[in-house]
Amino acid sequence: MTYVAGFTSTGSKRPEALFGSGASGMPRRMIRSSGCRVWDEAGREYLDYIMALGAVALGYAHPAVVRAAVAAVEQGGIGPLPPVLEEEVAEVLCRRISALERVRFLKTGAEAVAAAVRLARVATGREAVLGCGYHGWLDWCQGADAAGVPAGIRALYGEIPFNDPARTRERIRAAGDRLAAVVMEPVILRPPDPQWLAVVREETARIGALLIVDEIKTVCRLGLGGGCERYGIKPDLVVLGKAIANGFPLAAVGGRAEVMELVTRTWISSTLATESVALAAAKATLAVVDEAGVPAHITATGGRLLEGFRTLAARHAGVVVGVAGIPEMCHLEYRDEPLSGRVAAACAERGLLLKRGAYNFVSLAHDPATVDRSLAILDDALSAVSRSA
């Protein structure tokens, strides 16, 4: 019996999400994590590439981050005044990420991107928003079939197609002077087309809408500045989250000073936005990202994983139809959904936690030997599924 509605409060950690419907005997709850390994409630150890849905780039329980968080707890954690750490972490972000001139902290990526959209609506006096990617569960970005979301709010949101310049231009122009912002992820299964990026930037500027880049998955992975840094995107606002505090709950919205100053004309506030434990974890994380060259390590190690995926995709063509993503964020594509669940279950039985869809993530804790061992486990799991298919 479970006392949590729907088994867990995090949808992507449901057994059916990880292993498909009908899977039994799979790891359901964990008791510990360290480096790139986790232990389930029975004490069994797994190599992990889910990495808290991409929220961990240094590895679980990284010593520098743990020390910083423990020190913050011992100093009280939260109080009636904003902590010095708030300004210190904001200064590091603004100094290291060129798109940021001012920053506002929140706890989750979903609320941070919602804050960015609100700022865009204040800046433009408009209401419509076009999105490209996944931007959270809040009302503003839900489609026509979203239960519980007022129809009037759903009507304010539409989508543009990733890497399709012509249709993107058409949809932005159709929104015209109703459009407050375009919100986009810089990577969706593959890198962005430079022509598509140019169209998004040119068309939003032409009609006076803001460009918001959702770097929740990509910050600290593609570079400290994520996709904007790698692909030369010039946004008005940027949203950061996940790995920015190596798994501690922290997110941020930032961008041009004149846009960020509009926080004084609306209400963006959270009691726990500036508790100091996550801020201390973020400060330590950002230092390690620089000192250890984390993005370069993730690119190299992720590249090894991606090449291994490609080799196995060719070897197991009866189960796998392709590989998607980039070295820092990649996954196998399967012939059908049931097969993907069977492969994920076979991997778990062999001590490997692998996402069956977008995305698998490496971290600073993964090394070439770990990747090679993981690929050997995956090879065996794919062979077992192929034999029983």
For the chain, what is the HEC assignment? CCCCCCCCCCHHHCHHHHHCCCCCCCCCCEEEEEECEEEECCCCEEEECCHHHHCCCCCECCHHHHHHHHHHHHCCCCCCCCCHHHHHHHHHHHHHCCCCCEEEEECCHHHHHHHHHHHHHHHHCCCEEEEECCCCCCHHHCCCCCCCCCHHHHCCEEECCCCCHHHHHHHHHHHHHHEEEEEECCCCCCCCCHHHHHHHHHHHHHHCCEEEEECCCCECCCECCHHHHHHCCCCCEEEECHHHHCCCCCEEEEECHHHHHHHHHCCCCCCCCCCHHHHHHHHHHHHHHHHCCHHHHHHHHHHHHHHHHHHHHHHCCCCEEEEEEECCEEEEEECCHHHHHHHHHHHHHCCEECCCCCCECCCCCCCHHHHHHHHHHHHHHHHHHHHHC
Evaluate the CA torsion angle 234, 324, 288, 32 in order and state its sign: positive
Closest-CA residue to 54 (of 240, 189, 212, 216): 216
Average confidence (pLDDT) over 236-248: 98
Report residue 1's pLDDT band, with 50, 70 and 90 as the boundaries: low
Lowest mean pLDDT among 14-23, 231-240, 320-329, 373-382: 14-23
CA 65 to chain centre: 19
Cα separations in angstroms, 238 against 151, 187, 227, 291: 28, 14, 10, 24
pLDDT for residue 132 is more than 80: yes
Share of the chain above pLDDT 90, in %: 96
Give the pLDDT band of residue 23 (cuts 50, 70, 90).
confident
The reported pLDDT for the residue numbered 145 is 84
Query: β-strand 210-214 against 237-240: which pairing, if any?
Result: parallel
Cβ pair 46, 352 in contact under 8 A? yes
How close are the terminal C-alpha atoms of the chain, in Å? 33
Phi-psi region of 125 (alpha: psi -120 to 50; beta: other; left: phi over 0): left
Give the pLDDT band of residue 377 (cuts 50, 70, 90).
very high
- Please state, for a pLDDT cut of 70, what percent of the chain lies above it: 99
Contact 238, 99 (CB under 8 A): yes
Q: Which residues contact 342 (CB under 8 A, 6 or more apart)?
A: 20, 385, 388
Report the 10 Å Cβ neighbour count for 311. Answer: 13
pLDDT at 171 over 70: yes
Q: How many C-beta atoms surround the C-beta of residue 245 within 10 A?
A: 30
pLDDT for the residue numbered 213: 98
**Confidence band of 324 (pLDDT split at 50, 70, 90):** very high
What digits encode the pLDDT tens for the residues 61-86? 999 999 999 999 999 999 999 999 99
The structure's pTM equals 0.97
Single-letter amino acid code for the residue at 165: P
Of 376 and 22, more confident = 376
Q: Are 152 and 99 in contact (CB under 8 A)?
A: no
Q: Stretch 255-269: mean pLDDT, rounded?
A: 97
143: confidence class by pLDDT, cuts 50, 70, 90: confident
For 33, 248, 378, the CA distances from 344, given in Å and listed in that order, are 19, 27, 9
- Tokens representing 83? 């902590």
Domain ranges of the chain: 11-58+293-388, 63-291
Average pLDDT, the chain: 97
Beta-bridged to residue 106, according to DSSP, are 251
d(CA 46, CA 48): 6
Strands 128-132 and 102-106: unpaired
CATH for 63-291 is 3.40.640.10
- Whether the CB-CB separation of 75 and 276 falls below 8 Å is answered with yes
Which CATH topology does 11-58+293-388 take?
Answer: Aspartate Aminotransferase, domain 1 (3.90.1150)
